Copies of this chain bind each other. A is one copy, B any other.
Amino acid sequence: MLLKAAESVTLEPVQAGIGIRWLIKDDAPNFAMRVIEIEPGVVFSPHHHPYEHEIYVLEGSGIVTNSEGDVEDMYPGVFLYVPPDEVHGYRNTGDVTLKFICVIPQ
C-alpha cells in the first residue's frame, strides 16, 4: 500500500502557469491519478486525445471549455467525465490556483 500527501509529489511544469503532479502512475496497472494545477487567469487551450478523463475539482474556480468557447463552471466538489476524442480546455477565472484530480487510462 502506498500513502502520501499530494503536496509531497513534485509539481512538474506543463506550460507557463500550469503544472501536474503524477500521484499514482508506475505502480498502477490500469489508470493513473494526477493533480492538475492552473494559476489564476491562465488558459489550458482546448485540445483532444483518444483517451478519457475522469476529473474531480479540489480547489479554486474556473471554466471548462470546448472548441466553441466556455461550457460550464468548475468549482470544488464538481466532477467531470470527458469522453475520448472530445475537445476540452480549462480557464482559471478565480484568484487562487485551480486544482483538480484527473484520472487517465494507462
Contact = CB atoms under 8 A, between A and B. Distances in A.
Contact of A79 (B4, B52, B71, B82): B4
A12 B88 CA distance: 31
The complex is assembled from copies of this chain, and their number is 2
Given A6-B56, A24-B54, A77-B7, A1 B31 contact: no
Contact of A6 (B72, B79, B105): B79
Interface residues on chain A, size class: 35 or more
Given A1-B72, A6-B77, A29-B84, 15 more contacts: A1-B64, A1-B66, A1-B80, A1-B82, A2-B81, A3-B72, A3-B80, A5-B78, A7-B77, A23-B79, A24-B81, A30-B31, A33-B79, A33-B103, A54-B103
